[in-house]
Amino acid sequence: MAIDGNKILHVVMEGSKIRDEKGIIPIFGVYVNLFFVDYYNHLSFEFMKKLGAEREAEAAMLLVQAAQECAYATFQGIRNSREWEEIVEPMLDVKEDQILGFAAVANALGWGEMKVKALVPEEKLVMHVNGWYEAPGYLQFHDRSNSSKCYGIRGVAGAFMDLVYGETYPDGCFTFWAEEPFCLAKGDDCCEFIARKTPQKNHS
Amino acid sequence: MRHIDWNSELVRDGHGLFLSGLPIAMHCHHYSINLQKTLEDTLGTQGVELLVEAAERAAYAGFRSFLSKYSRIKGVKSRLEFASTLYQNCGLGIIHFQDMESEGGVVMSPSSHHVTGWLAKHGRRQTPGCHFARGWIAGVLAVIYDRPFHYYIVEETDCKMSRQERCIFHVRERA
């Protein structure tokens, strides 16, 4: 069965309207909030600026790590949720389909359209993402960049592979690590992410 | 959902998600707290200031956008109530403005996304940790009282992340 992204989107949009008595939105096994993307862009790009050009690689790695740990825990919660079991699970035929299910949920969360361009089981994931906010947010206030800017999706791509091909949760985080060879912020036509198995599982 | 037509305010356009015409994303507590911890661990006080400023900036722009669409909400009391409703609708928690004047006042929060998220991931902390809420409060109050951006300072004296009964914020004008 193909993944029905519209059905997943509908569940997320409806679920996002339900708050508990504490003003919190519990959906897909996690607590969700809705907030302006300018907040996240300001945090990321000012963080990079404060660490300076000589620490750019370290700063980028910290932001990717934060996103990957998050996505690893988030999508583990999602795939163990009642909503996943009832709505998404029936759409999955093979193990690899989980990544398509994750991508559909991410799109519903407002993270952009994720297209899987290539998937080599246990080895590599190539995704194109249209509509993620970091690259456009960067270009809003800066000139074209020499480096890629979508730290969040780099972490997400790595986490998708960690969850499907890494060790059993919670021991599989950072089994994979993603780079972004093409990015709108650099003037490329799209943002492309490639997650590959890390030589050694150590990015901390 | 008083005051707010949520179905028309929260909309999709292509692959984007918009609230009151401004782009938003849904993120969960894992991301909110991981970002906070990364900034605090790496930059210390500077990281805390950055968290406050980013929230203040986004809340200021967002709340101005909202109020421009709801011209019937004019009085301070109505605007404060509107802000509390918006905080809750966004899944950020419950917030009560108490004894507020244009010079400052007290804000109380019995529950929040960030408190729930922090306690779930890291347990009790030694110092107040609701930096996002500090910035959010400063941002919306500047709009409510028609003051410029960055007009208020918000400090948190009690915090549920430190296992106190509720989060208490004190607001004053920046000198």
Q: Distance from B47 to chain A by nearest Cα, in Å?
A: 8
Could you tell me if residue B21 is inside a domain?
A: no
d(CA A164, CA A26): 24
Would you state the pLDDT for residue B1?
45
Q: Distance from A30 to chain B by nearest Cα, in Å?
A: 6
Could you tell me if residue A84 is inside a domain?
A: yes
The shortest CB-CB distance from B24 to any of A43, A46, A110 is to A110
Could you tell me if residue B6 is inside a domain?
A: no
pLDDT in tens, A83-136: 899 999 999 999 999 999 999 999 988 899 999 999 999 999 999 999 999 999
Please name the residue that has the structure tokens 């750019």: A56
What ipTM goes with this model? 0.95
Give the helix/strand (H/E) hosting B50: helix B45-69
CATH number assigned to the domain comprising residue A79:
3.30.1380.20
Would you state the pLDDT for residue A29?
82
B47 to chain A: nearest residue by CA? A47
Assess B22–A contact: CB distance below 8 Å, yes or no: yes
**Mean per-residue pLDDT, B21-41:** 94
Count the domains in chain A: 1
pTM score: 0.94
The number of beta carbons lying within 10 Å of the beta carbon of residue A158 is 31
Count the domains in chain B: 1
Could you tell me if residue B16 is inside a domain?
A: no
Query: With contacts defined as CB-CB under 8 Å, which chain B residues touch A50?
Result: 43, 46, 50
Closest CA to B140 of B29, B60, B45, B25: B60
Could you tell me if residue A204 is inside a domain?
A: no
Assess B6–A contact: CB distance below 8 Å, yes or no: yes
Domain span holding position A75: 5-197
Q: Where are the alpha helices (DSSP H) in A5-150?
A: 5-15, 37-51, 56-79, 82-83, 97-108, 134-141
The number of beta carbons lying within 10 Å of the beta carbon of residue A191 is 27
Contact B96, B109 (CB under 8 A): yes
Residue B148: is the preceding peptide bond cis (ω within 30°)? no
Q: Where are the alpha helices (DSSP H) in B70-107?
A: 76-89
Domain span holding position B57: 29-173
* Residues 6+ positions from A109 with CB-CB distance below 8 Å: A12, A32, B17, B25, B26, B27
Could you tell me if residue B17 is inside a domain?
A: no
The residue of B35, B89, B122 whose CB has the most chain A CBs within 10 angstroms, and thus the best one to mutate to test that interface, is B35
CATH number assigned to the domain comprising residue B156:
3.30.1380.20
Would you state the pLDDT for residue A121?
95
